[in-house]
Amino acid sequence: MEPSKDYYEVLGVDRDADARTIKRAFLRKARKLHPDVNNSAAAEEQFKEVNEAYSVLSDERKRANYDRYGDPNGPYGFGGDYVDMSDIFGGGFSDIFDSFFGGGRGASATQQRTRGRDMGISLQISLEEAAAGCKKTVSYDRLAPCDDCRGTGVAEGGTETTCTRCGGTGRVIEVQRTIFGQMQSQSTCPDCGGVGKVVDKPCETCGGQGRAPERETVEVEIPAGIHSGQTVRVAGKGEAGVRGDTSGDLVARIDIRPHDLYERQGDDLFCRVDIDAFDALLGTKTTIDGIMADEKVEIEIPAGCQYGQQVRVEGFGMPRMGSSARGSVIAVVSVAVPDDLSDAERATLTKLRKQRRVRKRG
């Protein structure tokens, strides 16, 4: 992201504005420019500019870098513990607002479902991080409980009452007469939108939903021994529910990057160990780096070791989740035949070969 405009100017806030002021300014502008409510040709581009400005100024790290260096990523980028998921739904705040406005189909589509949805992300980690366990700070966009109304959807001085049309159920039953008799159908209450409550003075910030688009930063704790494809769930950090209904969870799917030395199979770690043909004949010991920090694994190659033979070293593989036990390191031996023998070495080997032939014949 290369800023070409003053983000503070785009949102119309001072450089010392606090997070709440920035959020309110963003929501005001986004409501006017969102494609669902503004059909002008320039609105879409302006909406993107507002999204970009807010994605930087709502993120503490990006804002600090922008203020200091003029670049939200800073001079050297972010460390490996920080993951920016601003495009979690593929379109950043644009898609968040689609859900906020009901996906362009009016408010009823959103209000029919009052519980918040789970939100899924994919986190890439190294095999070392999977072995030791790690924490990742994730920054992403979501519909969060509205700060101004504390998630109730009710503005100051307003009240919330039970919907008289549906009696608080959020559903209405309609009876129609047909040639086959009376037919009943159930649908979302049009007065309360399925919430069961009506508000006489909705919160202006969230439009009475009790939730609003926001940049969220959470810490995802990844346990030692986790496998690719497994998930870590952060309770309540998915999409917020309407007017205080249950929030969804943030579900992080773990993807472990390939390792230069090790290939994981279950809790075992396979690796290739290259040894000289003489070491394969006589046996030797070799040491490689373990998967844990500063760990060394000593591999004892037996005399007469064959190409492709596996040597197991127990207790140096991946940790088993929820246990202190570990798998094994399994070294697959690759025997290298030397091609730089001296004349003396060749003479010695030729003599040994003759002796072996005589012994076998005898």
d(CA 75, CA 73) in angstroms, rounded, equals 7
* pLDDT of 219 higher than 50: yes
* pLDDT of 248 higher than 70: yes
pTM: 0.77
For 268-292, what is the mean pLDDT? 96
* pLDDT of 106 higher than 60: no
Cβ neighbours of residue 352 closer than 8 Å, sequence gap 6 or more: none
Topology (CATH level 3) of domain 80-151+204-257? HSP40/DNAj peptide-binding domain (2.60.260)
For 65-86, what is the mean pLDDT? 76
User: Considering only CA atoms, which of 253, 239, 252, 308 is closest in space to residue 280?
Assistant: 308
User: Considering only CA atoms, which of 81, 166, 169, 172 is closest in space to residue 129?
Assistant: 81
Q: Give burial (CB, 10 Å; 0-12/13-18/19+) of 173.
A: exposed
- Placement of tokens 């990844």 in the chain: 222
The pair of three-digit structure tokens given for residue 336, joined into one six-digit string: 């290298």
pLDDT band at 82 (very low <50, low <70, confident <90, very high): low
CATH for 1-78 (1.20.210.10, 3.30.70.100, 3.60.20.10, 1.10.287.110): 1.10.287.110
Q: What is the average pLDDT value for the chain, to the nearest integer?
A: 87
> Residue 104: what pLDDT?
34
Q: Do 232 and 254 contact (CB within 8 A), yes or no?
A: yes
* pLDDT of 225 higher than 80: yes
For 293-316, what is the mean pLDDT? 97
What is the number of alpha carbons within 13 Å of residue 301 lying toward its C-beta?
A: 28
- Give domain 263-355's CATH architecture: Sandwich (2.60)
The DSSP line for 61-103 is HHHHHHHHHSSTTTTT---TTEEEETTTTSSTHHHHHHHHTTT
* Model confidence pLDDT, tens digit, residues 30-56: 888 887 778 888 888 888 899 889 989
103 or 133: which carries more pLDDT confidence?
133
Sign of the torsion formed by the C-alpha atoms of 158, 161, 164 and 165:
positive
> Residue 111: what pLDDT?
42
d(CA 232, CA 236) in angstroms, rounded, equals 13
24 or 284: which carries more pLDDT confidence?
284
**Maximum CA extent, the chain:** 108
d(CA 292, CA 316) in angstroms, rounded, equals 9
Q: How far does Cα 233 stand from its chain's mean position?
A: 10
d(CA 325, CA 316) in angstroms, rounded, equals 10
In the chain, which residues fall in CATH 2.60.260.20? 80-151+204-257, 263-355
In the chain, which residues fall in CATH 1.10.287.110? 1-78
Q: Do 261 and 128 contact (CB within 8 A), yes or no?
A: no
Sign of the torsion formed by the C-alpha atoms of 122, 211, 204 and 21:
negative
> Residue 226: what pLDDT?
98
For 273, left (φ over 0), alpha (ψ -120 to 50), or beta? beta
* pLDDT of 151 higher than 50: yes
Cβ neighbours of residue 331 closer than 8 Å, sequence gap 6 or more: 271, 272, 273, 288, 299, 310, 311, 312, 313
Q: What percent of the chain has pLDDT over 90?
A: 57
